[in-house]
């Protein structure tokens, strides 16, 4: 039997968590899709992104270790109303960017996001760009059931 990767295990746990504890169905799930295309980055930055469902109080923390220039991640809100309570990029014990990409800005209702991060990722916010697009979206296709 093959070993399951930690990423797949975490993903399955999050789906189970969502279907067990969220008030709504997965059809109400909002997504934050994140794509990075850095020209370079300093050190081994880590991004902590914390989402809180304002109806149920469910808190979903995500930790993204930036080890490649090009990445694609998806974070799920598991509810219709949610708030980004933390968006912290850490380069080490002394270098942090609070409210990374200016995402901590109130309660979002039925809003998903697509983010593109580019430039040189350093502790200086002037060296990189965060392009955030918000849109109304209630479903995120995880798999196509008709795919053979």
Higher pLDDT, 136 or 98: 98
Q: Tell whether 96 is covered by a domain.
A: yes
- Reported pTM: 0.74
Residue 21: the pLDDT is 44
Residue 92: the pLDDT is 82
Pick the closest to residue 122 from 13, 35, 39, 20 (CA basis): 39
Q: Tell whether 79 is covered by a domain.
A: yes
Q: Give the chain's domain count.
A: 1
Look at residue 147 and tell me whether its pLDDT is greater than 90: no
Hey, is 21 helix, strand or coil?
helix
Q: Tell whether 126 is covered by a domain.
A: no
- For 57, other C-beta atoms within 10 Å of its C-beta total 9
Interval 48-53 mean pLDDT: 96
- The range of the structural domain enclosing residue 70 comes to 43-110
Q: Tell whether 105 is covered by a domain.
A: yes
Q: Tell whether 1 is covered by a domain.
A: no
Look at residue 144 and tell me whether its pLDDT is greater than 90: no
Residue 77: the pLDDT is 87
Q: Per-residue DSSP letters for 63-96?
A: EEE--SSEEEEEEE--SSEEEEEEEEEESSSS-E
Q: Tell whether 9 is covered by a domain.
A: no
Residue 23: the pLDDT is 43
Q: Tell whether 116 is covered by a domain.
A: no
Task: Please state, rounded to an integer, the average pLDDT across all residues of the chain.
Answer: 81
Percent of the chain with pLDDT over 90: 57
Residue 29: the pLDDT is 78
Residue 139: band (very low, low, confident or very high) from pLDDT cuts 50, 70, 90? low
Q: Tell whether 25 is covered by a domain.
A: no
Strand positions, DSSP E, the chain: 31-41, 46-53, 59-65, 70-76, 81-90, 96-97, 107-109, 111-121, 128-136
């Amino acid at each position: 039997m093959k070993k399951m990767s930690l990423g797949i295990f975490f993903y399955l746990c999050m789906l189970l968590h969502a279907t067990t504890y969220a008030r709504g169905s997965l059809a109400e799930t909002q997504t934050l899709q994140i794509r990075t295309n850095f020209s370079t980055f300093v050190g081994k930055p880590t991004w902590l992104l914390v989402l809180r469902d304002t109806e149920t109080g469910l808190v979903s923390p995500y930790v993204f270790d930036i080890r490649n220039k090009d990445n694609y991640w998806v974070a799920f809100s598991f509810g219709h109303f949610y708030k980004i309570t933390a968006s912290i990029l850490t380069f080490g014990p002394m270098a942090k960017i609070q409210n990374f990409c200016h995402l901590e800005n109130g309660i979002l209702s039925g809003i998903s996001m697509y983010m593109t991060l580019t430039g040189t990722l350093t502790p200086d916010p002037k060296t990189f760009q965060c392009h955030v697009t918000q849109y109304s979206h209630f479903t995120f296709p995880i798999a196509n059931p008709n795919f053979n």
